[in-house]
Amino acid sequence: MMVALSACQSTPTTLYQQVGEQAGLERLVDAFIKQIGQDEVVFPYFKQTNVSHFRAGFITHMCDVLDGPCTYEGDNMVQIHTGMKINEHDFNHTVDLLIAAMNEVRLSHSLQNKILARLAPLRAQIIKI
């Protein structure tokens, strides 16, 4: 019985794999950065930001959060976002830009929901600080 059961179990795929591993994640983050660059609400927050540093850090952070083979060792979410005083509206708007990016790279809605569920708990570490 145990043998039969274990033979039926397929290796679970991580969210990182479902996004398309490193190449898929890079496409997603590039689409997100393009969305931010075109957005008059969110772009002002990034005026002083080094885009290539942000791109590399955001990719590694997402890889880590989506159970990929990465460990994010940059500053934590509170350290990074302290002083930005991001309100609910601007946070939600940024999430909308991420959703637009996920649509652009054609992630399924069920995968999008799983990714957003991983990011949602970080909200309290990012807003109103």
Question: Given the complex with ligand HEM, which of 12 and 83 has the nearer CB atom?
Answer: 83
Q: How far is the CB of 86 from ligand HEM (least distance, A)?
A: 5
3-state secondary structure the chain: CHHHHHHHCCCCCCHHHHHCHHHHHHHHHHHHHHHHHCCCCCHHHHCCCCHHHHHHHHHHHHHHHCCCCCCCCCCCHHHHHCCCCCCHHHHHHHHHHHHHHHHHCCCCHHHHHHHHHHHHHHHHHCCCC
Question: Given the complex with ligand HEM, which of 70 and 80 has the nearer CB atom?
Answer: 80
Contact between 99 and ligand HEM by CB under 6 A: the answer reads no
Q: Which of residues 19-38 bind ligand HEM (CB under 6 A)?
A: none
Binding site for ligand HEM (CB under 6 A): 42, 45-46, 48-49, 53-54, 57-58, 61, 74, 80-81, 84, 86, 90-91, 94, 119, 122, 126
